[in-house]
Amino acid sequence: MVDKVQIRLTNTRTRSKEDFNPIDDKNIRVYACGPTVYDRAHLGNARPVVVFDVLFRLLQHVYGEDAVTYVRNFTDVDDKINARAAETGRPIRDITEETISWYHEDMKALGALRPTEEPRATDYIPQMVAMIEDLITKGFAYAAEGHVLFEVRKFSEYGKLSGRSLDDMIAGARVEVAPFKRDPMDFVLWKPSTGNQPGWDSPWGYGRPGWHIECSAMSAELLGDVFDIHAGGIDLQFPHHENEIAQSRCAHGSEVMANYWLHNEMLQVEGKKMSKSLGNFFTVRDLLDQGIPGEVIRYVLLMTHYRKPMDWTVEKVREAEKTLRRWHHATADLQPSEPHPDFIAALADDLNIAEAMSVLHRLSTDPSRDRSMLSSLLASARLVGLLTEKGGNWLTTQRIGGGSDVLIEELMSQRWEFRQLKMWADADRIRDQLSSAGVKVSENKDGSYTYEFTSDFDPVKLAAIK
């Protein structure tokens, strides 16, 4: 545990930034809503993964690795999955297993740690049935025509998380109201299954759970009736998280479901909403297959504070790659020391990653920097999943939009930094490697330079320079 680090988080529940005071500082409990596994994760899906991975890492750093339990679920029973099975003729289990495998591969490429627990909804059907039975017994839910519905008006605080009035929600609703609902806002806890739809036996007949009850049942089973942090994208705030709170609090008789609620904002592409109709929709795997390294994707996702909308742009990708190349070269052959206190302070201030990144830039460009500062840079970056040993594998390849010119610029910038630090051997190594690759450089005392390619120029050798 690290002394004297007070984490502060913006709590959606209270609409204020608060000191994070865990229920038990030896057992921090965090839940984040995970994917519905029917297709590849798109870039918008990746943002909460990376954001809350940083939260997970920070909590581990402050309280100890064994003191944090992070749960992120897989929704593996859903109408979208059923539709994909009907469309392809493939068994549902095959689709979900394949998609979970893809998800693990893609999130690993982004440097995300595996959560402590990754429960699958289909493994917790008994817990869901038990919670639904309890809600009926306590008068908060009712059965009707093979369905079970939560009676929203029985929970007086419905809408507080999202700041919505129940009457306004009803007035603005554009949904077909099922005849068996007592109120248009009542939501499904259990529904009947027919034909090839997946289903389980229950007191209300053969059927399957509604979406919202899954997270309530799994979080209660793995983290308890009340836990520390519930996280997810802002798109889940209503109705998913609102419904989670209603059914969980009514089932457990608690004042809260989680003490702190964190929501990340949405993602755009070049200033526009990501959508297939605009041709700017892509998955994480699409980007990886285009040759954009996972570490670069991660950096871009971290360039914007999690509570602000972020814009994915080609220019940001170039900026991220250039910065990471420089940092990798600056910390080559060094061992990490301890994260810089200013870096930790920035992260502890509501995951202020922009300020934290500015600390890293300062460490890498400070004229008085030495090896100890660069070692602190390395430790700080690794805390948020950057500059890892595996993450730097992409440095050996030529990259997007810049070609040899960009790489030479970065290498010469690194050579100049080594010269300023009087790290002559490292500076000479870069010069010699460039020469070996067929790049003839003429330098001036102020660090400016010109270069030309000789007849022996080898772009493969150039790309392999570390």
Same domain as 239, residue 192: no
Q: Is 157 exposed, middle or buried (0-12, 13-18, 19+ CB in 10 A)?
A: exposed
Same domain as 70, residue 140: no
| Residue 217 near residue 124, CB atoms below 8 Å | yes
Same domain as 78, residue 195: no
Same domain as 13, residue 113: yes
Which structural domain, as residue segments, surrounds residue 129? 125-211
Q: What is the pLDDT of residue 129?
A: 98
Q: What is the mean pLDDT of each run of 10 residues along the chain (466 residues)?
A: 84 97 98 96 96 98 97 95 91 94 97 98 97 98 96 95 81 66 94 92 96 97 98 96 98 98 95 84 92 94 96 91 86 92 98 95 85 94 92 58 64 86 90 88 80 69 76
Domain end (from 177, 211, 245)? 211
Instruction: Report d(CA 298, CA 303) in Å as an integer.
Output: 9
Same domain as 460, residue 407: yes
- Ramachandran category for residue 111: left, alpha or beta (phi over 0 → left; psi -120 to 50 → alpha): left
Cis peptide before 239 (omega within 30 of 0): yes
Is the residue at 230 inside a domain? yes
Q: Mind listing the pLDDT tens digit for each residue in 162-205?
A: 998 877 776 555 555 788 899 989 999 999 999 889 999 999 99
Is the residue at 296 inside a domain? no
Is the residue at 274 inside a domain? no
CATH number at residue 248: 3.40.50.620
Is the residue at 165 inside a domain? yes
Q: Which pTM value belongs to this model?
A: 0.84
Same domain as 238, residue 207: no
Q: What is the pLDDT of residue 318?
A: 86
Domain end (from 191, 211, 231)? 211
Same domain as 31, residue 85: yes
Is the residue at 60 inside a domain? yes
Domain end (from 211, 226, 258)? 211
Same domain as 183, residue 218: no
Same domain as 99, residue 21: yes
Q: Mind listing the pLDDT tens digit for each residue in 369-387?
A: 888 999 999 999 999 999 9
Is the residue at 303 inside a domain? no
Is the residue at 72 inside a domain? yes
Is the residue at 298 inside a domain? no
Q: What is the pLDDT of residue 400?
A: 35
**Number of compact structural domains in the chain:** 4
Same domain as 168, residue 38: no
